[in-house]
Amino acid sequence: MGQRTEWDGFRALVSVDAGLVVLRSRRGTEMAASFPEIVAGTAQLPDASALDGLCDLWGCLSPKVSQAAQLR
């Protein structure tokens, strides 16, 4: 598994260059297909933008939601 599971989400790096959004785990695993909502939201950032953060998953205190999050 390329990403480290957090208590409430996944650590991720996003960059925007010439309109292309790249979303990767801290180890470089491509995550865009698993988080299309983040790609869509960050596509509006200016070129040469870079963000480092946590893809937070609402409701992860519920075991059912935590299991679904791990499948992403």
- Residues 10-37: tens digit of each pLDDT: 789 999 999 899 999 989 999 999 888 8
The answer as to whether 53 is a domain residue is: yes
Q: Assess if residue 69 is contained within a domain.
A: no
pLDDT score of 68: 55
40 in any annotated domain: yes
pLDDT above 70: residue 66: no
Closest CA to 26 of 10, 38, 49, 37: 10
Indicate whether 70 belongs to any domain. Answer: no
55 is in which domain, residue-wise?
9-61
Residue 20 in any domain: the answer is yes
**How many CA atoms lie within 13 Å of 22's alpha carbon, on the beta-carbon side?**
15
pLDDT in tens, 31-62: 999 888 889 999 999 999 999 988 776 654 44
Q: At which residue do the structure tokens 């790096």 appear?
A: 13
Q: pTM of the prediction?
A: 0.68
Contact residues for 5 (Cβ-Cβ < 8 A; gap 6+): 69, 70
Task: Specify the pLDDT at position 72.
Answer: 60
Neighbouring residues of 63: CB distance < 8 A, sequence distance ≥ 6: none
What number of CA atoms fall less than 13 Å from residue 53's CA on the CB side? 9
